Amino acid sequence: MAEEHHHQQLQQVLILRPPPVYTAFQDEFSKKFQVLKAYESPLPTDLFLTTQAHSVKAILCSGHSPVTADILRHLPALQLVATASAGVNHIDLPECRRRGIAITNAGTVFSEDVADLAIGLLIDVLRQISAANRFVRGGLWPTVGDYPLGSTLGGKQVGIVGLGSIGSEVAKRLEALGCIISYNSRKKKPSVSYPFYPNVIELAANCNVLVICCELNDQTRHMINRDVMLALGKDGIIVNIGRGVIIDEKDLVQCLVQGEIAGAGLDVFENEPNVPKELFALDNVVMSPHMAAFTEESFFDAYQLVVANLEAFFSNKPLVSPVINE
C-alpha cells in the first residue's frame, strides 16, 4: 500500500527561474512535487507554457522571475502564485486579483536576518569597518598611522520608513543600542509609541539616519529622492534593505558624490546586479549584493513555508502565509 502511494502522481509546480531558496533544497523539493522547469527547456518561455504547463495550477517564483500578465495569460489553469520572497512587487497583483489567483509569500521568516544586516550596514557606515579593513589589509596602518574618527551610534535619531515586520525588528535592535526612533508608514500604528511622521521629508528633517524597510509599490517607487536627502542633511546616512527602486538612485549617487549626505549602507539597487560605478570609490558607502535574507537558517524556514503553502493548496486547506491582495 505504501509502495502504491509513493507512485501516485506528484502535484505539478511550475518554476520559470529557480529561486535561491528552491536551489538550496531542490532535491527535497522534487520528492514532494513534480517540478516543471521552464529554465531547462530549449523552447521559448511562451511556447513552453502553452505546450508543457497550460494545465499547471501552481507556480513558484522569487524576485528573479517576474510573474507578469503575459506569463499569466499562458497559464489558464493557474490558481496559486507562491513566492519564496517576502516582497511581492515582481507579481502582477491586479491581474491575479482579477483572476482570483491566490498569492503566498515568505511571511516574516526573513525579518530578523534582514534587520540584523540593516544594523550591520549602519554600524559599518558609522564606524567604517569595511573601509578600516581595507586600510589594514592594504598595509597602510604602519605607514599612515591612526585611522580617521568614526561616529557614535548611541543617541542617533533614526527614522524608519515602513514599520512592518522588518521595520519593527530594526527599531527593537536600535532601541537596545540607544538610538531614538521615529517612523513613517502608510498609517500610524496605534500599538507603537515612537513619533509618527506622515511625510517622509518631515521624518528625514528630524533624523540623522533613515532606514528603508517598506515594500516597493507605486506609492514608494523613488519616494526617497533628492528632496528627502537634502532634508536629511550633510550628516545624514541612508540604509536600504527594502528594494533598490524605493530610492532615486541618480539622486543618491549625486548627493553622496557632492557630500549632500554623509554615507549609505545599501543591500539593494535599481538595476541589480549593476551598481553605479561612482559608488565604488566612496569609503562612506557600504554595499552588499541583495543578501540580507541569505542565511542558512532563514532559507530552511522559507523552504518549509513554501512547501507548507503548496501542500495546503493542493489539499484544499487554508494557505499558511497568504498575501491579502487588496
Q: Active-site positions?
A: 243, 272, 290
Neighbours of 308 (CB within 10 A): 15
Q: Express the helix, strand and coil content of the chain in percent, nearest 5 each.
A: 40, 15, 45
| Grid cell locating 119 | 544594523
CB-based contacts of 78, cutoff 8 Å, min separation 6: 56, 57, 58, 59, 72, 99, 101
C-alpha–C-alpha distance, residues 277 and 173, integer Å: 32
User: Which residues have CB under 8 Å from 173's CB, separation 6+?
Assistant: 115, 116, 119
Amino acid at residue number 63: G
Angle at 283 between CA 280 and CA 287, to 5 degrees: 55
- Give residues with Cβ within 8 angstroms of 222, minimum separation 6: 245, 246, 247, 248
Pairing mode, strands 12-15 and 34-37 = parallel
* Helical (H) or strand (E) element with 88: none
CA distance 73 to 53: 12
C-alpha cell read off for 310? 503548496
Cα(12)–Cα(207) distance, integer angstroms: 50
Q: Is the peptide bond before 322 cis (omega within 30 degrees of 0)?
A: no
Burial of residue 187 (number of CB atoms within 10 Å: 0-12, 13-18, 19+): exposed
